[in-house]
Structure 1
């Protein structure tokens, strides 16, 4: 569908040009130029780097240098705080730990944006507060991809139960090969449990510690895995490869992969379209930009963050596949035309549940991964040790 991608590229170009004037609006007069350090994970799309280059082009006195740190859920805190920084780009799940250790300073959101309620909730300093621990750069939510071979045929959105009941038509991040892919496994298992019982992890990230509830919620997934009805993969890219090299119809992945998957799959003669659908309840993801508490350039850091997270940036990032954080971006007619699936992404984000928002999350994830992996693949029954381990991690 070349016209869709031509339009998408055109919109991205228009937004980029418009952001030049936005960047020029942040004026600084300094006798001594300063370089701010942004500590972050990898940018696989190029969208973030484009925004940073735009900022640097118009602000030779306040430039931004990116330091990329590869990390996992277990070690992001230690690796990030051991790297000198003015700004951190943090996964939302790490905000409580950075805040409780006094590593980041509160910040106000940029003018002109209204954050989606779940995104606001996981970022705010306290309930009802307009101040944030980090300004959301992008949000994220698990989505169900499906391959369409005939666009004229009826194509109702399936349920996750139906998908995993089929014979090896679905792939997701349901195994792990070490710390780099552990978190993807945890998220996918949580989503499978939520498909059975949406109260097992509520809209504020409060997790059930009822053993029977967990046993019931994970039984269908265990049955599907033991019946060889799911093509498992470790990590997002391996899941994409399994979906694209096989004849699978369904895949669980994040929306940021959609432009790449859609464009490549549409070139195949047996694929008429790739569509996104909702999971019953997806896990809320995303990243936020936080000011390091010990930076000597707090005002400059705040200005950079507001530029990178403001409305023009949100619209631009949407064309790169990112899920915007603000309601206004989803309502923009040009962005909606360039990204036709944006409404379904918004619906999924607004109904998503966060992981437990606790400084002890990394330990929770370790406990959860260990017990559920043993249950699903080694047939070790879930016991009170599982729920006690979760409770202890989050205490």
Structure 2
């Protein structure tokens, strides 16, 4: 893959455009140095940390110190609050709880922010022009497919067809073994349900509470897993390894895995290319940066967030495999030429659905995973208790 934005050229470009100089000029007027603590999950690509390093190089009197916190859907709230942080890098599903409990403060987006509408809705404060958090990167489920011969017509498949017409050739996160893999399982189950019934989860993240609807929507994937037509893995990493090790034709995964998978698979004689396509309806995810309500440096934290989430930063993150949040990144000519698959990610984001954006999401995800795992792995039919448990958490 072409190295589109090296560290030096990226830094020079954003300084020229003024994106960084405005933030640097504000911070450099300070007389007393400060340290901003950024609570975040692990950075497996190095892209986010590179942006932090750039900020620190430009702002010696306002350094960001990253506190990496390993957490899952169920415990991010507690673990993040255990650190005295100025900035939280929140999974979007946790924003409502942090906001409802007054753990974060509103932040005004910078002028000219061209956020995709689906991304904007996840972080914007209802009824206001400001946000609870500024989107750092977005995410959406994608379908990977292995191309062995470019001269043969490549018809993009439907997810519902793969579990019946491509036995043994599709891998997804349709198993879970711990809280660390529960969320991947929940997302995959929702995507398979949507592939059968587009009305089971609405565009605003409202779930159906019809037992018959859920039984019908999840019946095909449950049958496919139990019959061995689908390879069910626990977590994105295991799914990728299975896809590569056994040369499978199809895989469901997030966009951030694409650069590494594509580079590795192109070295195989039997693989001509790895292509990305959207699911019928993917689940949107991503991370957003929020200012902690307890921070003593809220103004500087806000400046740092605008730097880390700006258009130029989005170009860099896209190079590392992250799905950009802004339209400007998707229509950037140089980026589009180097990363032609970005247009498919944009289409997938625009047609995606959010998970239930509710302060009780973590508890909902736990009971949803328990019930649907018993259905898919053990053949235990869903009962009205499934509906009651979901309603108890988010109804």
TM range (shorter): over 0.9
Partner of 1:351: 351
The CA RMSD over aligned residues, in Å, is 1.2
Structure 2 contact 324–330 (Cα < 8 Å) conserved:
yes
Structure 1 contact 111–310 (Cα < 8 Å) conserved:
no
1:256 aligns with 2:259: no
Structure 1 contact 211–383 (Cα < 8 Å) conserved:
yes
Runs of 4 or more above 4 Å deviation: 10-13
Structure 2 contact 115–326 (Cα < 8 Å) conserved:
yes
Q: Deviations over 1:213-254 (max 9, x none)?
A: 000000000111121101111111111100000021000000
> In terms of mean alpha carbon deviation, does 222-231 or 259-268 score higher?
222-231
Distance 1:268 1:146 in 2: 15
Structure 2 contact 5–319 (Cα < 8 Å) conserved:
no
1:185 aligns with 2:185: yes
Partner of 1:302: 302
Give SS of 1:25's match.
helix
Distance 1:10 1:39 in 2: 26
Query: Which of these residues, 10, 17, 25, is aligned with residue 15 of structure 1?
Result: 10
Mark the runs of 5 or more structure 1 residues left unpaired by the alignment: none
Partner of 1:138: 137
Distance verdict in 2 for CA 1:266–1:13, change over 3 Å:
farther
1:24 aligns with 2:2: no
Partner of 1:40: 40
Distance 1:13 1:274 in 2: 30
TM-score, structure 2 as length reference = 0.96
Q: Deviations over 1:286-340 (max 9, x none)?
A: 0000000111111100000000001100111111111111111111101111211
Give SS of 2:129's match.
coil
Q: Deviations over 1:82-132 (max 9, x none)?
A: 1110000000000000001100001011222211111111111104x3211
Give SS of 1:269's match.
coil
1:393 aligns with 2:387: no
Structure 1 contact 11–338 (Cα < 8 Å) conserved:
no
Q: Deviations over 1:337-367 (max 9, x none)?
A: 1211111100000010000000000010011
Distance 2:150 2:267 in 1: 15
TM-score, structure 1 as length reference = 0.96
Distance 1:105 1:371 in 2: 36
Distance 2:30 2:242 in 1: 52
Partner of 1:164: 163
Give SS of 1:88's match.
strand
Q: How does 1:183-332 map to 2 (within 5 A)?
A: 183-332=183-332
Distance 2:245 2:129 in 1: 46
Distance verdict in 2 for CA 1:306–1:247, change over 3 Å:
same
Question: What is the number of residues matched between the two proteins?
Answer: 389
Distance 2:191 2:362 in 1: 18
Structure 1 contact 16–316 (Cα < 8 Å) conserved:
no
Partner of 2:104: 104
Structure 1 contact 164–170 (Cα < 8 Å) conserved:
yes
Distance verdict in 2 for CA 1:373–1:218, change over 3 Å:
same
Structure 1 contact 115–325 (Cα < 8 Å) conserved:
yes
Q: Deviations over 1:355-382 (max 9, x none)?
A: 0000000010011000000111112110
> In terms of mean alpha carbon deviation, does 210-219 or 223-232 score higher?
223-232
